[in-house]
């Protein structure tokens, strides 16, 4: 067992070294009971010695307390007098009397030791928790009562800013005393992961400097300064401390020095080497036996300096005491002098870079595992010299040891040495050099010796970067040389994942063919019955397939091999095909029963569109597989789906598959079950069976009598794309031909095989033509339409494609369950006008035959004028459709991008649609918003025709023409056509240009269209909802509409309208309940924050005149004052209209007009103050006897306006809020 004093802290040297100094001053008879230190004369808590204060600080005794590492009571406050020991106090006189005191008997938690196992301190200053734990650090060694271990990690060995200098000085004195005195049995000092300034390093060096006392009776034998930042001056001081002085005296107690991870620099290495090198008198530091310089960037110069110390000088003197040296991976080429110095005296070395030199020299080892040891170039060269002479070593493992220098260097020296060692060694049978950073040069150098080895059976070089050049060198080494010598015993050479390239892999595969006994190139990878190497194996490279194929030739155990998703390419596929085909010696694999090569890029490309043009199509692999199947009769399952095999190669492969005597499953198609009529349904969804699969399936369907459902949906590569904007339709034509003959199939699901999934319009036409020729209905979309509602608006980034709609239309023709079909966001005519028009024609024909579909949503589908005409050709005779959404479809050939119009205006689509609506007797709702119908030549004529259609007996009840840029002339034509004379009950004209003015870009105001609408509205008897919002209707337009809603001299006015929307705001528009107010069926109306402007108030006032039921009206937060924009002038016409209405309205009792800018001043106090609107309103209040509550807050009324309102409502019971 080891006894240790262990200190771990993230604080400064003036904390943990004071602790150490205090420990030196604790009397002999001190002991620990229940976590507290006790002496015969003094009793103080375990925390009292953890922190010192400068001399002169006040000291106070503390009562004992129980140990609790998590208790707040255990925290030390660096500023508390209770937590400090004053070196000058009386209480501490005995403890500071001698620096040679040490712990003796200690006990804790029921356990006793003669000496403490460890003292661990966390924190210890300025409010952080501090405590100590005594625990056993036993590692199985025998008890040692004299061993003590002090550890401090993560420390900054500098005085903190603002602290008194005496503290740091006291720390240095305590450290020097600790190391220099003989009585404290401190054996090991570890300072790690921190930094040491020059003064601290000099103090440490001073404590280590040779002296008469220290050389005779020192206690410190192990010093560890790992991962430290030491200034050059400090490093030089430490090196000098270890060097014999002029009298030849040196620190004779220090035997182990660990500087791992501490950068020493050139001067530091030279100083350290000087301590180890015999001087002119032949004196050197002979006590130091173990030295660790790993990760110290020793470099060539430092290594040469060390080599000089280990090499006999002119007098034949050298350092023969150093027996353990660790330089790690020094990078680059190791100096020969260092390697020769160590190899010349192997008996001296217990260990070099982790290599047991002495044991190897004495032939004590049969197996040596140096995995992850990073022995470096120097280490591997020393090891090679030992291996060359070893007669006992059988297995050598150097995995992940980075023998090739740094991670990016191509260093051959170490590998060349190993190769030469193999040339001499006669005992080694297994060597692992995987992941050792072997590159091309290293592999070539290693191969030069490997060629003459006569003992090695297993060699692992996997996970390196050998490259084609290195692979060819290895291949040369394996082949018989000019002298006819061949490496006969080698049976396994693992080189997978080594970046060989197909060229290098083929060279190795060819080399092993010439051996009488097989050599494995993939270790024991295939020595199983089932091997799956799918895309989850990150280490697998395409060229590894050639190695795999080489092993496969003579493998007799493997039954199933899967490389699914692994991009092996044409070369890999051909290598596997060659393994299944007899070679020149007649050897091939005849035991493999299942091979999965799906999605492996056998033709040089995959099925992903983004990588489709990555490589040109290569059919050589498919041809090689075809030839392999002609000879191989062991396979019963083969999958080559998802490899874009097409053309003649695909048909040749299909023919061989159909004629193969043992193959039962191909690309997921159960061949034997299909032949035996044992299947009723077959699902091949997303199987990417390709043309070979389709051709095979078609041939089987010709004779099959049991299959009634076949699912080929979601991307099956039915007609793959070929170079030159062409598709290979041979597979789909074969399927269509088979369908004509087959009499059992009634469902063929081809959904999801659109243009991007390799199904073109010609393919769809061929299948549909076959279905028609057959004379029996066949579903081409499976059971997709056998629902009430089908929403496909999110099918891909461009929605449902035209080809898919053609298939959909086929099923819709005889479907009897679908009520709602949503294929919005599709792409009918933007890219392919011909196919899009054809799809819409097919859809129209389906609507003509279908009797259940009521709702069809084609919004945002790029229908265009031609598409609209194609759809309309059959729409007129649809018997079930009630709702049609064609919004945002460029029906007039125009679209807008970044504020600019593109395309040519073509009203033919609207004209065709108008004609169809005139014939249709079922459509009730049509949405054609956002189609840019108006604003162009020909628009008035098209809109007039639409109006006439509605006027003359169309069944249409709702029409949405919003967002169509309909100007005054267009709107007049629409009204003249009679749009308000028919049975229409909802008309949406929101967001147009009815008054010729755009919201932000201006224009010339023209109210003629609103006047025409108002006149037609006067006599309308059907319209319930009219939306005129966001059309910039001004006062005259609003007044014209108000006249239509108010009885004239003859008592004529609109009595049908229920809701009128005229707000300027384009969203959240206010709906004026005209019908409810007219019928007196409403008592409260809340229109707050609806963006009402004076025009809206005029219309509301017209409805209020005759209302007798409304009690409460909330108009707060609107813009009735008319300040629409900054610097705009006020418009009080709406307020005055409301005032006039209140004279005649005798039911309203509460009115809220807060925040309406009624005095011409907005919330920013901008505008011209005008109280006339409020004054006019106040005058009417005197005539109104029903109003009892009025809220005018937030209108910024001044004293004159407020006075006018107060005088008008002088009644005490009137509630007025200003």
Q: What's the topology of domain 802-922?
A: 3.80.10
3-state secondary structure of 926: strand
* pLDDT > 80? residue 277: yes
* pLDDT > 80? residue 652: yes
* pLDDT > 50? residue 948: yes
Q: Please give the helix or strand (H or E) that residue 522 lies within, else none.
A: none
* pLDDT > 90? residue 666: yes
Identify whether the C-beta of residue 231 lies closer than 8 Å to the C-beta of residue 264. no
* pLDDT > 80? residue 485: no
Q: What is the pLDDT of residue 91?
A: 37
The CA-based dihedral angle spanning residues 1001, 1007, 1013, 1015, taken in that order and rounded to the nearest 10 degrees: 170
Q: What is the pLDDT of residue 556?
A: 92
- DSSP H helical segments within 321-405, as ranges? 336-344, 357-361, 376-389
DSSP-derived pairing of the beta strands 111-113 and 106-108 = antiparallel
Whole-angstrom CA distances from 513 to 504, 507, 866 are 15, 10, 67
Cβ-based neighbour number of residue 709 at 10 Å: 18
Per-residue pLDDT of 160-175, as tens digits, reads 333 333 334 444 445 5
CB-count exposure of residue 900 (10 Å: 0-12, 13-18, 19+): exposed
Per-residue pLDDT of 799-844, as tens digits, reads 788 888 999 999 999 999 999 999 998 888 765 577 889 999 999 9
Residues 529, 1134: Cα–Cα separation, whole Å: 89
Q: Which of 15-24, 91-100, 973-982 has the lowest mean pLDDT?
A: 91-100
* pLDDT > 90? residue 71: no
Q: What is the pLDDT of residue 373?
A: 86
Per-residue pLDDT of 345-388, as tens digits, reads 999 999 999 999 999 999 999 999 999 988 888 889 999 999 99
Per-residue pLDDT of 983-999, as tens digits, reads 899 999 999 999 998 76
DSSP-derived pairing of the beta strands 1002-1003 and 560-562 = unpaired
Whole-angstrom CA distances from 944 to 44, 947, 995 are 106, 5, 18
The rounded mean pLDDT for the chain is 79
Q: What's the pLDDT band for 58 if we cut at 50, 70, 90?
A: very low
Residue scoring higher pLDDT (424 or 46): 424
SS3 per residue for 246-288? CCCCCCCCCCEEECCCCCCHHHHHHHHHHHHCCCCCCCCCCCC
Q: Please give the helix or strand (H or E) that residue 347 lies within, else none.
A: none
Mean pLDDT of 509-531: 88
DSSP-derived pairing of the beta strands 36-38 and 492-494 = unpaired
* pLDDT > 60? residue 214: no
Q: What is the pLDDT of residue 777?
A: 87
Q: What is the pLDDT of residue 320?
A: 86
Greatest mean pLDDT range, 67-71, 221-225, 688-692, 1134-1138: 688-692
SS3 per residue for 206-240? HHHCCCHHHHHHCCCCEEEEEEEEECHHHHHHHHH
Whose structure tokens read 């004028």?
A: 865
Q: What's the pLDDT band for 1150 if we cut at 50, 70, 90?
A: very high
pTM over 0.85: no
Q: Which of 323-337, 554-568, 944-958, 1160-1174 has the lowest mean pLDDT?
A: 323-337
Residue scoring higher pLDDT (55 or 486): 486
- Fold agreement between 802-922 and 933-1062: yes
Per-residue pLDDT of 246-261, as tens digits, reads 777 887 788 999 999 8
* pLDDT > 70? residue 1050: yes
Q: What's the pLDDT band for 13 if we cut at 50, 70, 90?
A: very low
Q: What's the pLDDT band for 228 if we cut at 50, 70, 90?
A: confident
Q: What is the pLDDT of residue 1125?
A: 53
Q: Which residues contact 566 (CB under 8 A, 6 or more apart)?
A: 533, 534, 535, 537, 540, 542, 545, 600
Q: According to the CATH classification, is domain 933-1062 in 3.80.10.10?
A: yes
Q: What's the pLDDT band for 1119 if we cut at 50, 70, 90?
A: confident
DSSP label of 885: E
Per-residue pLDDT of 1073-1085, as tens digits, reads 999 999 999 999 9
Rg (CA), the chain: 48
* pLDDT > 50? residue 1175: yes
DSSP label of 532: E
The overall longest dimension of the chain from CA atoms, in Å, is 139
DSSP 164-178: -HHHHHHHHHHHHHH
3-state secondary structure of 107: strand
Residues 1016, 971: Cα–Cα separation, whole Å: 12
Q: What is the pLDDT of residue 621?
A: 94
Share of the chain above pLDDT 90, in %: 44
Q: What's the pLDDT band for 957 if we cut at 50, 70, 90?
A: very high
885, HSE (Cβ side, Cα atoms, 13 Å): 17
Q: What is the pLDDT of residue 141?
A: 38
Mean pLDDT of 1028-1051: 90
Q: What's the pLDDT band for 1148 if we cut at 50, 70, 90?
A: very high
Q: What's the pLDDT band for 334 if we cut at 50, 70, 90?
A: low
Q: Which of 71-80, 142-151, 594-603, 972-981 has the lowest mean pLDDT?
A: 71-80
Q: What's the pLDDT band for 286 if we cut at 50, 70, 90?
A: confident
What are residue 257's phi and psi, to 5 degrees? -130, 120
* pLDDT > 80? residue 27: no
Per-residue pLDDT of 130-188, as tens digits, reads 222 222 333 333 333 333 455 554 444 333 333 333 334 444 445 555 555 544 556 77
Mean pLDDT of 1133-1142: 88
Q: What is the pLDDT of residue 397?
A: 96
Q: Which residues contact 453 (CB under 8 A, 6 or more apart)?
A: 422, 423, 425, 487, 490
Q: What's the topology of domain 1082-1218?
A: 3.80.10
The CA-based dihedral angle spanning residues 559, 565, 567, 569, taken in that order and rounded to the nearest 10 degrees: 60
Residues 811, 297: Cα–Cα separation, whole Å: 76
Mean pLDDT of 750-765: 73
Q: What is the pLDDT of residue 175?
A: 54
Cα angle 948, 951, 957; round to 5: 120
Q: What's the pLDDT band for 300 if we cut at 50, 70, 90?
A: confident
3-state secondary structure of 661: coil
Q: Which residues contact 331 (CB under 8 A, 6 or more apart)?
A: 299, 376, 377, 405, 406, 409
* pLDDT > 90? residue 1: no
Mean pLDDT of 743-760: 77
860, HSE (Cβ side, Cα atoms, 13 Å): 9
User: Residues 702, 707, 709, 713: is their CA dihedral positive or negative?
Assistant: negative
Which region holds residue 1167: left if phi is over 0, alpha if psi is between -120 and 50, else beta? left
Identify whether the C-beta of residue 613 lies closer than 8 Å to the C-beta of residue 724. no
Per-residue pLDDT of 94-109, as tens digits, reads 333 333 333 333 332 3
Q: What is the pLDDT of residue 1192?
A: 92
Give the number of residues written for the chain: 1218
End-to-end Cα spacing for the chain: 91
* pLDDT > 50? residue 342: yes
Residue scoring higher pLDDT (317 or 34): 317
Per-residue pLDDT of 570-583, as tens digits, reads 999 999 999 999 98
Residues 789, 1110: Cα–Cα separation, whole Å: 43
Q: What's the pLDDT band for 1000 if we cut at 50, 70, 90?
A: low
What the block records as the tokens of 559 is 């039954």
How is the chain split into domains, by residue range?
11-147, 802-922, 933-1062, 1082-1218
What the block records as the tokens of 958 is 């709702």
Give the bridge partners for 960, in sequence order: 927, 988
Give the bridge partners for 226, in sequence order: 192
Q: What's the pLDDT band for 540 if we cut at 50, 70, 90?
A: confident
Q: What's the pLDDT band for 289 if we cut at 50, 70, 90?
A: very high
Q: Which of 231-235, 858-862, 1008-1012, 1154-1158 has the lowest mean pLDDT?
A: 231-235
């Amino acid at each position: 067992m080891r006894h240790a004093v262990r200190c771990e802290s993230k604080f400064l040297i003036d904390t943990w070294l004071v602790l150490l100094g205090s420990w030196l001053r604790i009397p002999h008879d001190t002991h620990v009971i229940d976590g507290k230190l006790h002496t015969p004369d003094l009793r103080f808590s375990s925390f009292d010695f953890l922190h010192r204060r400068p001399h002169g600080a006040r000291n106070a005794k503390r009562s004992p307390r129980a140990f609790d590492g998590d208790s707040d009571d255990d925290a030390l406050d660096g500023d508390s007098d209770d937590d400090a020991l004053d070196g000058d106090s009386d209480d501490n006189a005995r403890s500071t009397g001698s620096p040679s005191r040490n712990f003796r008997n200690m006990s804790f938690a029921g356990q006793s030791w003669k000496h403490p196992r460890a003292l661990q301190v966390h924190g210890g200053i300025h409010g952080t928790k501090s405590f100590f734990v005594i625990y056993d650090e036993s590692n199985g060694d025998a008890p040692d009562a004299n061993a003590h271990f002090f550890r401090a990690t993560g420390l900054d060995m500098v005085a903190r800013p603002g602290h008194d200098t005496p503290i740091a000085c006291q720390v240095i004195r305590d450290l020097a005393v600790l190391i220099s005195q003989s009585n404290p049995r401190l054996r090991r000092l570890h300072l790690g992961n921190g930094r040491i300034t020059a003064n601290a390093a000099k103090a440490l060096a001073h404590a280590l400097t040779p002296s008469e006392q220290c050389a005779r009776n020192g206690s410190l034998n192990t010093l560890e300064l790992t991962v430290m930042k030491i200034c050059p001056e400090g490093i030089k001081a430490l090196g000098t401390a270890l060097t014999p002085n002029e009298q030849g005296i040196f620190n004779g107690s220090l035997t182990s020095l660990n500087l791992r991870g501490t950068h020493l620099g050139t001067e530091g290495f030279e100083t350290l080497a000087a301590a180890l090198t015999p001087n002119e008198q032949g004196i050197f530091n002979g006590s130091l036996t173990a030295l660790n310089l790993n990760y110290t960037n020793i470099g060539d110069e430092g290594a040469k300096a060390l080599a000089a110390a280990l090499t006999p000088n002119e007098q034949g003197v050298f350092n023969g005491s150093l027996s353990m040296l660790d330089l790690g991976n020094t990078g680059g080429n190791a100096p020969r002098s260092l390697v020769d110095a160590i190899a010349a005296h192997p008996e001296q070395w217990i260990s070099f870079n982790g290599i047991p030199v002495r044991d190897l020299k004495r032939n004590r080892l049969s197996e040596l595992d140096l995995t992850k040891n990073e022995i470096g170039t120097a280490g591997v060269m020393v090891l090679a010299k030992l291996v060359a002479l070893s007669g006992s070593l059988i297995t050598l493992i150097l995995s992940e040891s980075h023998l090739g220098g740094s991670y990016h260097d191509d260093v051959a020296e170490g590998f060349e040495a190993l190769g030469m060692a193999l040339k001499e060694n006669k005992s080694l049978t297994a060597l692992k050099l995987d992941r050792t950073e072997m590159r091309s040069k290293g592999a070539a150098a290693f191969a030069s010796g490997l060629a003459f080895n006569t003992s090695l059976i297993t060699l692992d070089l996997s996970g390196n970067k050998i490259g084609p050049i290195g692979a060819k060198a290895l291949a040369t080494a394996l082949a018989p040389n000019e002298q006819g010598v061949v490496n006969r015993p080698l049976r396994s050479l693992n080189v997978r994942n080594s970046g060989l390239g197909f060229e290098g892999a083929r060279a190795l595969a060819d080399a092993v063919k010439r051996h009488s006994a097989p050599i494995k190139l993939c270790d024991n990878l295939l020595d199983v019955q089932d091997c799956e190497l799918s895309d989850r194996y990150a280490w697998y490279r395409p060229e590894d397939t050639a190695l795999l194929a080489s092993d496969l030739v003579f493998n007799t155990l493997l039954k199933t091999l899967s490389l699914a998703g692994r991009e092996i390419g044409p070369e890999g596929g051909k290598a596997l095909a060659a393994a299944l085909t007899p070679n020149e010696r007649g050897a091939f694999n005849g035991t493999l029963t299942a091979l999965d090569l799906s999605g492996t890029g056998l033709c040089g490309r995959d099925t992903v569109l983004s990588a489709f043009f990555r490589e040109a199509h290569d059919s050589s692999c498919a041809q090689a597989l075809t030839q392999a199947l002609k000879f191989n009769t062991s396979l019963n399952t083969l999958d080559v789906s998802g490899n874009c095999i097409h053309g003649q190669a695909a048909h040749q492969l299909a023919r061989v598959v159909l004629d193969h005597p043992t193959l039962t499953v191909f690309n997921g198609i159960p061949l034997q079950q299909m032949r035996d009529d044992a299947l009723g349904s077959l699902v091949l969804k997303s199987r990417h069976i390709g043309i070979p699969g389709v051709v095979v399936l078609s041939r089987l369907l010709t004779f099959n009598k049991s299959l009634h459902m076949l699912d080929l949906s979601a991307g099956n590569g039915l007609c793959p794309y070929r170079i030159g904007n062409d598709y290979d339709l041979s597979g789909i034509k074969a399927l269509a031909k088979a369908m004509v003959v087959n009499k059992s199939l009634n469902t063929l699901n081809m959904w999801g095989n659109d243009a991007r999934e390799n199904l073109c319009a010609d393919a769809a036409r061929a299948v549909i033509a076959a279905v028609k020729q057959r004379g029996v209905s066949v579903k081409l979309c499976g059971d997709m339409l056998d629902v009430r509602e089908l929403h496909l608006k999110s099918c891909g980034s461009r929605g449902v494609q035209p080809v898919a709609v053609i298939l959909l239309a086929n099923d819709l023709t005889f479907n009897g369950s679908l009520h709602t079909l949503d294929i919005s966001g599709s792409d009918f005519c933007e890219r392919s006008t011909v196919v899009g028009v054809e799809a819409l024609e097919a859809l129209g024909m389906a609507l003509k035959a279908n009797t259940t579909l009521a709702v069809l949503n084609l919004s945002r589908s790029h229908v265009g004028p031609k598409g609209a005409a194609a759809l309309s050709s059959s729409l007129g005779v649809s018997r079930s459709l009630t709702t049609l959404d064609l919004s945002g479809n460029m029906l007039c050939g125009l679209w807008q991008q970044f504020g600019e119009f593109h395309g040519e205006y073509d009203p033919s689509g609207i004209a065709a649609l108008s004609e169809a609506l005139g014939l249709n007797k079922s459509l009730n709702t049509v949405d054609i918003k956002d189609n840019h119908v108006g604003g162009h030549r020909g628009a008035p004529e098209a809109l007039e025709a639409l109006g006439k259609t509605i006027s003359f007996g169309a069944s249409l009840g709702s029409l949405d023409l919003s967002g169509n840029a309909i100007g005054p002339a267009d709107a007049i034509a629409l009204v003249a056509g009679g749009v308000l004379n028919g049975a229409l009950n909802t008309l949406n004209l929101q967001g147009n240009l009815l008054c010729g003015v755009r919201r932000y870009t201006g224009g010339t105001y023209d109210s003629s269209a609103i006047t025409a609408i108002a006149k037609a509205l006067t006599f309308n008897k059907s319209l319930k909802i009219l939306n005129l919002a966001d059309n910039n209707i001004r006062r005259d337009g609003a007044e014209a509409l108000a006249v239509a809603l108010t009885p004239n001299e003859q008592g004529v006015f609109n009595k049908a309208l229920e809701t009128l929307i005229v707000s300027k705001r384009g969203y959240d528009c206010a709906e004026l309940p005209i019908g409810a107010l007219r019928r007196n069926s409403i008592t409260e109306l809340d229109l707050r924050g609806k963006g009402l402007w004076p025009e809206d108030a005029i219309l509301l006032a017209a409805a209020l005149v005759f209302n007798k039921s409304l009690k409460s009206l909330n108009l707060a937060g609107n813009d009735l004052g008319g300040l629409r924009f900054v610097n705009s002038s006020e418009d009080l016409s709406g307020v005055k209209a409301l005032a006039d209405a209140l004279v005649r309205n005798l039911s309203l009792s509460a009115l809220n007009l807060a925040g309406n800018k009624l005095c011409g001043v907005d919330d920013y106090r901008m505008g011209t103050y005008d109280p006339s609107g409020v004054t006019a309103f106040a005058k009417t209040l005197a005539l109104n006897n029903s109003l009892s509550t009025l809220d005018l807050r937030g209108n910024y009324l001044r004293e004159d306006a407020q006075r006018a309102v107060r005088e008008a409502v002088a009644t005490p019971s009137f509630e007025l809020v200003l």
